[in-house]
Amino acid sequence: MTGPIEYVETQRVRLFTAETPLRLRSGRELAEVDVAYETYGELNEARDNAIFVCHALTGHAHAAGLHLGAKKRGWWDNIIGPGKPLDTDKYFVVAPNILGGCSGTTGPLSVNPATGEPYYMDFPLLHMSDLVQVHRALVAHLGIEKLYAGVGGSLGGMQILQWVIDQPDAMAKAVIVAASSRISTENIAFSSVARTAIMSDPEFYDGRYVEHDTVPRLGQKVARMMAHITYVSDVSLDDKFGHRRDSVGEEMQMEPDFAVEHYLQHQGEVFLDRFDALSYLYLTRLLDYFDPFAAPETAERLAATETTFQVTSFDSDWRFDTRQSMAMVEQLEAAGVAVDFAELHSTYGHDSFLLQPPGYHDRIAGFLNRA
Amino acid sequence: MTGPIEYVETQRVRLFTAETPLRLRSGRELAEVDVAYETYGELNEARDNAIFVCHALTGHAHAAGLHLGAKKRGWWDNIIGPGKPLDTDKYFVVAPNILGGCSGTTGPLSVNPATGEPYYMDFPLLHMSDLVQVHRALVAHLGIEKLYAGVGGSLGGMQILQWVIDQPDAMAKAVIVAASSRISTENIAFSSVARTAIMSDPEFYDGRYVEHDTVPRLGQKVARMMAHITYVSDVSLDDKFGHRRDSVGEEMQMEPDFAVEHYLQHQGEVFLDRFDALSYLYLTRLLDYFDPFAAPETAERLAATETTFQVTSFDSDWRFDTRQSMAMVEQLEAAGVAVDFAELHSTYGHDSFLLQPPGYHDRIAGFLNRA
């Protein structure tokens, strides 16, 4: 295969059924679980060249290439493709949508077979291990016994960590970027404000807004605008927008005027179309409770793994800051796991993991290609 | 006078009337302007011992002492009083509520004499100089020709800066804490999200919510919860709350569970009682446009002042970070003004200016007492 990835399609498979339900950490069961996913490159005969990509909070399966008729390439197209770090000439890359999401994989708006209507807030609260279980089933479905690597940023990186804890022989290499083994109190605080905005919105209707043919527009938009600020950095906002504004001269106005305001309004608006408020509630809540090293068996399980880890943070990322990555690295090393850790310089904040700050892609390629 | 300040009362005076209206920077006029204020200590015979205290965004005139029957002391009681840095045995301290506020001084909910009903959104957008003009009138009303010092944190510090620019002989000393001569793009961004939350709230009613016997509860609460996070620091949140939560064991819940969530909910709720949403809109907007050094005459005016400045920032303050204070210091020094600048260590973020991190109060006392 040569040239960039062109047309791809999202596939969908039912991995759990009424006969073989997904049993969650909480004890609850999901009788039907579908998973949306894409693949790039070819699985080799030995079936040992698969790289599994785990997306962040609001991601989806369309990680690379183009959908038919679309203009926008997948969300991680800069790193997946022929000759790129996740080199599809060498590797078979799998990118799914996560459990609890809203882009093809089962989530709160999926139909509960027991009632024939969407789960809404009756959808069970999820543990990171539940997401891992679904992805393990996808790996098995694809006929892969062991992954060459798991790669994830933010929530995706945290999922990779949980995966190795739950299944120490799951993958040879684990690449974790801009993540945490236990998010900061500040991080919980921001998500809590976002959930308050959504759940207090009069259009939320206890999560049954779809029945009312609406969405909690105010809450979801405000949640995203706020979160967006936390995904970038003060320096990048200064660089990109400064105090540029639309109105001229001395005139002030209460309505959005500065370029950064219009930008945030736009980010908030498009988020209403591309993501679901219930998924936002469930997935942020999952992050709040994520704390794998609180479990006494975690260190023991990690001691059994031969997986080597690469952990990367960015110096301007203040939502998942280096302090959090360092804590994870210390926990991993205390469990006897080999970790290649670096903090990279970038002005782009948490979003750096989706971009190409100097040294970042080379660092991942180097780790993946190392024998 | 000995012992702490006990009972104080907020006073109120009409400083501008239909005959002598307040002419704003925008050209608009306010025909009636009342100012609420408190004073502590005694004005000496030479009338040269007055210190003017400017409060922050959501402050008020009750800076020190106790109101009759109240239990909670004024918001800056730790720095104002006998033997304290703003020593009421030596100084006559004046603390007003600002124009556009909602605690006794004229603001958006005040009655417009031209219509007989509250201004609401017809209240004019304010410039920092408008606040200064009102305070100059209060100083004159109190029979003070020149202040010994002006002291302010956050918005209050920015007002002190504007005051010296507008009236270079206003005060001998200017104390500016945790402030900025032009807020960061990120700072504008946070305020913009707050305003979006308030103005999109269905209970906002184009600012006429009082007529509907309601307040934009969701928007105002979310705005405050978010802002509160930006006033503290990630370290202080970790120290104070960590991951402590109410529920026990493995049980997860979507409703607030972590201690930090209950705390933010509480902060959001009490803010509904103690502050007005329209004042929040007007005063945050004033901060966004504050940019005194953009005016070509600013440096020239400052060159004429004999006021000495003390500027202080805190290393954990990321809403008004040291970068912003440093920029102000450089602008002042470029204009030939003497500045005593220091960044102090504190884990409490922006709120440090209201607290007593090591060295802070001594620093202010030293500057005020210097001959």
CA atoms within 13 A on the CB side of B129: 14
CATH fold label, B187-285: Rna Polymerase Sigma Factor; Chain: A (1.10.1740)
Res. B3: pLDDT tops 80 = no
Residue the block writes with tokens 């990322």 = A317
- Mean local confidence (pLDDT), A264-279: 98
Per residue in A5-64, pLDDT tens? 889 999 999 999 999 999 999 999 999 999 999 999 999 999 999 999 999 999 999 999
Between CA B47 and CA B282, with CA B35 as vertex, the angle to 5 degrees is: 125
Cα–Cα dist B79/B86, whole Å: 6
pLDDT bracket for residue B371 (50, 70, 90): confident
Cβ neighbours of A285 in B, within 8 Å: 252, 254
What whole-number percentage of chain A has pLDDT above 90?
96
Three-state DSSP class for residue B252: coil
CB of A24 within 8 Å of a chain B CB? The answer is no
Half-sphere exposure in the Cβ direction for B56 (13 Å, CA): 16
Query: Are B222 and A200 inside 8 Å of each other by CB?
Result: yes
Interface check A182 vs B, CB under 8 A: yes
Report the share of chain B in percent with pLDDT over 90.
96
Catalytic residue among B55, B317, B325, B352: B317
CB pair distance less than 8 Å for B222 and A243? no
> In chain A, what is the straight-line distance between the N-terminal and C-terminal CA atoms, in Å?
23
Q: What is the mean pLDDT of chain A?
A: 96
Q: Between B128-141 and B155-166, two packed helices, what is the crossing angle to 10 degrees?
A: 70
B130 — contact with chain A (CB < 8 Å)?
Answer: no
* Whether B200 contacts chain A with CB within 8 A: yes
Question: What is the CATH code for A11-182+291-369?
Answer: 3.40.50.1820
Per CB-CB distance under 8 Å, the chain B contacts of A289 are: 252
B122 touches chain A (CB under 8 A): no
| Angstrom distance (rounded) from CA A63 to CA A156 | 13
At B2 the pLDDT is: 56
Burial class (CB in 10 A: 0-12, 13-18, 19+), B29: middle
Chain B residues with CB inside 8 Å of A185's CB? Answer: 234, 237-238, 240-243, 258, 260
pLDDT in tens, A177-231: 999 999 999 999 999 999 999 999 999 999 999 999 999 999 999 999 999 999 9
Give the span between the Cα atoms of A99 and A34, in whole angstroms. Answer: 9
- Which pLDDT score is estimated for A371? 82
Q: Do B237 and A182 touch (CB under 8 A)?
A: no
Q: How many Cβ atoms sit within 10 Å of the Cβ of residue A30?
A: 21
B258, HSE (Cβ side, Cα atoms, 13 Å)? 26
E strand intervals along chain A: 11-16, 22-23, 29-30, 33-40, 50-54, 80-81, 86-87, 92-96, 111-112, 117-118, 147-153, 171-177, 308-314, 339-344
Condensed to tens digits (0 to 9), the pLDDT of residues B79-119 reads 999 999 999 999 999 999 999 999 999 999 999 999 999 99
- DSSP lists the bridge partners of residue B53 as B151
First to last CA, chain B: 23
Over the stretch B143-167, which tens digit does the pLDDT of each residue have? 999 999 999 999 999 999 999 999 9
CA B196, CA B214: separation in Å to the nearest integer? 18
Read off the pLDDT band of B4 (50, 70, 90): confident
Residues 43-102 of A with CB under 8 A from B: none
Mean pLDDT of chain B: 96
Q: What pLDDT score was predicted for residue A234? A: 96
The pLDDT of residue B247 is: 72
Q: What is the distance between the alpha carbons of residues A32 and A52, in angstroms, rounded to a whole number? A: 23
Quickly state the pLDDT bin for A250 (edges 50, 70, 90): low
CB contact under 8 A, A185 and B252: no
| pLDDT (mean) for B32-52 | 98
Are residues B184 and A218, on separate chains, in Cβ contact within 8 Å? no
Query: Which are the contacts of A248, defined by CB distance < 8 A and separation ≥ 6?
Result: none
Determine contact, residues B244/B259, Cβ cutoff 8 Å: yes
Q: Do A234 and B264 touch (CB under 8 A)?
A: no
Q: Which residues of B touch A186 (CB under 8 A)?
A: 229, 233-234, 237-238
Model pLDDT, residue A60:
98
Q: Which of residues 209-238 of A touch B (CB under 8 A)?
A: 217-219, 221-222, 225-226, 229, 233-234, 237-238
pLDDT digits (tens, 9 = 90+) for B193-219: 999 999 999 999 999 999 999 999 999
Q: Between B253, B260, B282, which is nearest A188 by CB?
A: B260
pLDDT for the residue numbered A251? 85
A367, A310 in Cβ contact below 8 A? yes
Rounded CA-CA distance B280/B291 in Å is 19
Kindly tell me if the per-residue pLDDT of B61 is higher than 90. Answer: yes
User: In whole angstroms, what is the distance from residue B134 CA to residue B120 CA?
Assistant: 20
Contact between B173 and B146 under an 8 Å Cβ cutoff? The reply is no
pLDDT of residue A44: 98
Quote the DSSP letter at residue A250: T
The CATH code for residues B11-183+292-369 is 3.40.50.1820
If you measure CA to CA, which chain A residue comes closest to B241? A185
CB B231 within 8 Å of CB B316: no
Is A291 in CB contact (< 8 Å) with chain B? yes
- On whether any CB of chain A is under 8 Å from the CB of B285, the answer is yes
Q: Is B154 labeled as catalytic in the residue annotation?
A: yes
- The kind and range of the H/E element at A192 are helix A185-200
Distance from CA of B306 to the nearest CA of A (A): 29
Pick from B192, B253, B256: CB nearest A261: B192
B317 is catalytic: yes
Sequence ranges of the domains in chain B:
11-183+292-369, 187-285
Q: Which residues of A are catalytic?
A: 154, 317, 350
CA distance B362 to B309: 16
Beta-carbon pairs below 8 A across chains A and B: 158
